[in-house]
A and B are shown apart, each in its own frame.
Chain A
Amino acid sequence: MDLDDRNHARYALAQTDPGNEESLFRNVVESAPYAMLLVRQDGTIALVNAEAERLFGYRREELIGEKLEMLVPASLRHGHVALRDGFMAGPLSRPMGAGRDLFGQRKDGSQIPMEVGLRPVVTAEGPSVLAAITDISVRKRADAELRQVNATLAATNHALRRANAEITQKNAEISRKNEEVESFVYIVSHDLRAPLVNLQGFSKELELCCAELETAVARLPLAAAQTQELMAIVRDDIPGTLHFIAASVGKFDRLINALLMLSRTGQQAYRADPLDVRAIAGTTLDMMRRATETAGAHIVLGALPVAWGDATAVGQVFANLIENALKYAHPERPPEIEIDGTVVGGLAQYSVRDNGIGIPRHAQTRLFQVFQRFHPERASGDGIGLAAIKRIVERLGGTIWATDAPNSGSIFRFTLPHHRPEEHPPC
């Protein structure tokens, strides 16, 4: 209703009973948008409006003439009488129940939270109080819900913060552990090398001594049988023994080298560049052309999604996987290697599939561990390639795994960040 309409209504009212202010008052009360009660000094209800009927669930004839306390929850009625008397003794316009939650009681016994404004009025029947009542149950409910939501938020926030702190701590622990492992590997590699140098060096000394001994024996004036006996020792037994020592030392040396390489893989600083991974794979294939052609390999390079990372490192990953595919080719068919890629869940995913001898079932879980070799008869190696590759991929922010290819052979898949890594990870 706009102002004009309201004015019109008032005029209409005034016209219905001109000069009758009582009637005007009743009409105003009746049309108020909230519940109103007129209460006599003794607490009887003299007037109610439609909103009050609706709010309390009584018809007005059930209310008028009754004590106001019928609308007060039973437990509060006694106290309310005293409060009402107190107000009547010195009535002032004011909101009721400052600092307390007020409740009314409906006919059906349910209670309503409410706000009440009190205004003393003088009527023909004597001093009375006009009470304006607002149902605040919706607001209360909203408040309660808001409080609940706030509490939930606070709890979630707290949990998040705790989880975050835990992650930070775990990360610190992991990087400390990593550092420990790196320096352990580094130290072990150095310290293992030292005795090895002696084994190698003194074996060489023995070899040289044997040569001298042989010359000396040849000069000795001995019987042929004796010479032959000595020569057998000097030419065969000792060098044969040295051969085994040298082979073992050589193997030991390679393993230490591999360990060192692995430890360096963990330490190198990687770049975070946008990468044309297809170009990187292509370059890697070019560099390996000789090996792939010798093996008679047929290679298919598909479309590869771009990624973020370190070009050299990614090249190493491809080189290693391709090398593996050649190494473990099936003896009865030329190697076929298929390099492909796609984007899955915001990660660039690459696959290198071969038709080789595949991965033995028992090897699956240990495939990426250090010093694991599953086909020692097939190819020489230190059992370190895949372990190093796994480290590289993980340091670039990806993962690597392997599965059997449907028709024998294996598929290695690894992921890399497809989007620019955030400089400050969200916390």
Chain B
Amino acid sequence: MKGYLARNGYNLAASALAIVAMWVAWIIAYAATGNDYLVPSFGQTAQKFFALFASGYFWSAFGATLSRTLVAFCISFVLGALCAAAGTLLPVFAHFLRPVVAVFRTLPTMAVLLLILVWASPVSAPVIVTVLVLFPVIYSQLTSAVSGVDAGLLEMAKAYRLTFRQKLTGIYVPHVAPLALAQTGTNLSFGIKLTVSAEVMAHTYVALGGLMSESQLYYDMPQLAALTVCAVLAGLIVEFIFRTAAKYAFPWRRGEEI
């Protein structure tokens, strides 16, 4: 712990300073506006934030939002991995996918959500929107990870006539896995943000976004801010867990920043 602090002391201090700066900016914004409906006070927000933890309904909504994010992430990951693998094996498939992925990447999320809501329920629409946004991101990350496999190793594999399975399990998967795990945290965090936004638009019941929408309807700004803080914290915690896991889960690169 002492060694860790010595190595990362300045970085930790810089991060702490950023948090303090954001907190001070909040206080200044509150003081400048002097209006609880525009910027809620920090004290009231903190009070609402801790009150949320005692509410069973909040936990159901929080769990439902996280579940939707997880389902959307899993669908996107499986689709992205299958397409990246197919594109590596068949370059023509990668060319076929290129415009499709480009269109998915530039889709205006909220417009698509409104279209989807015509035929999908407010419960499934956020999942569909999150998949539409996450899939091209994950596909691009995996494709770039696969193309980053050391060409020298592949030449060695060819010279020693390694089988496809040996190359897959010995070279490709171990190269891609640490990168994929490190990016999973960022993708899940992004997924939470997307799902919550879609839930707000879709007025999904039993959802973090639904609660936010409700708070906005009743001008309960401290509650809205407290729910936003919850979503931000959930994203940060998920990112931290996966980044740490990626650092220590692979013994051949233990402790390396990925």
- A and B together in one complex: no
Give B residues with C-beta under 8 Å from A.
none
